[in-house]
Amino acid sequence: MSKTFASAASAAVLAFVLQGSALAQAGPHPPQVKQEWNNDHFLFHYDDGTCHLEYEYNFKDGNMHLDKHGDCSSVSIPHF
């Protein structure tokens, strides 16, 4: 086996492993949930790799904002 072929094969294997690693990180992962509230607003943040959503409710003016991406059909959002 020539050194050039071995180097090319090693580079190809490394690229495949790195690509697989990046795809694995982009997929589902344990849910990350964050809630915070004070006299002004309530914020709910959820991310499990499949669903990413942010819900914010402003107590002063009654406005709400919902931003979601992905399949969030199984996530219940606490509403005010």
Q: Which two tokens stand for residue 58?
A: 């402003």
Mean pLDDT in the chain?
A: 76
* Mean pLDDT, residues 53-80 taken together: 90
Give me the residue spans of the domains in the chain.
1-27, 31-80
- Residue with structure tokens 């694995």? 24
CB 49 within 8 A of CB 26: yes
Name the band, by pLDDT with cuts 50, 70 and 90, for residue 26.
Answer: low
Please determine, for residue 70, whether its predicted confidence score (pLDDT) is greater than 90: yes
Task: Give pTM, 2 decimals.
Answer: 0.61
